[in-house]
Structure 1
């Protein structure tokens, strides 16, 4: 008799036989909980629980001080944040943000950039990322975009050879 409390009880306004029984497998309430979690909510939970962050240093061939934050879900890389950092100047430049399509709207990019900020707390971040998804994320995180990549004087200096030159 659920939902019948506000209706008249006469024969004229009585419930129809089809309205008395709820559909099979449904409790009758319009707001009942679905059995499976929706896809977007499930991906958000995965992004916050099952994705690990691993730091990797990229060899000098790509540029001095180039580093990468890998986003790993069950032994599979689902995202990368490429950046350069100078600890002497306390400046960092994000060069690329790449996130797998299925994790794009799950908050994983926000979590990754927040992780970078917490690992390097006194670093002023800028970005040279050109992809639209990266620009939108960086704008959301209030990281300014710069046109060119101004390398600091510390990373422009060549590495000194530790072996003395013989004459």
Structure 2
């Protein structure tokens, strides 16, 4: 059902509108798939609380009427879309439906299992030996919780890199990019870098 949410202090509708604005920034020319994905993340973040969506959308519409900023209208539209997701699932009045909706939006993937039944033929051993000669050089982040990089070198030649970010507080990581040079692909270098 995704990551467990720790209930915090109840936020005001003004705070919710500000948080929804941070979700809506950059969605003015986004594809419908991206808007739907952001709305799903917002539904998960606010735990499918239809009251929060309605109150925050009202604040956004009031702010749009007070000024000429179009971003509040886009934020209200995003909140309406998230509210439709909750309403269509029947999760606005039913707690069981809300739990099902949150489980469907971000299902728990379960533990990852590496393939251990790999054939150990001559090609596998050649790839393994080539991967063993690769050295990983760690370049730490310049700021707290910034992106870090592993540079993969074979001798002086750079054959790949892994960009990642780790939050020390919540012990979660974000793997931004894995790249391996075309001539070095197929030797298990990227897999070893992730491990």
TM-score, reference length from structure 2: 0.34
More helix by percentage: 2
Name which one, 1 or 2, has greater alpha-carbon Rg.
Answer: 1
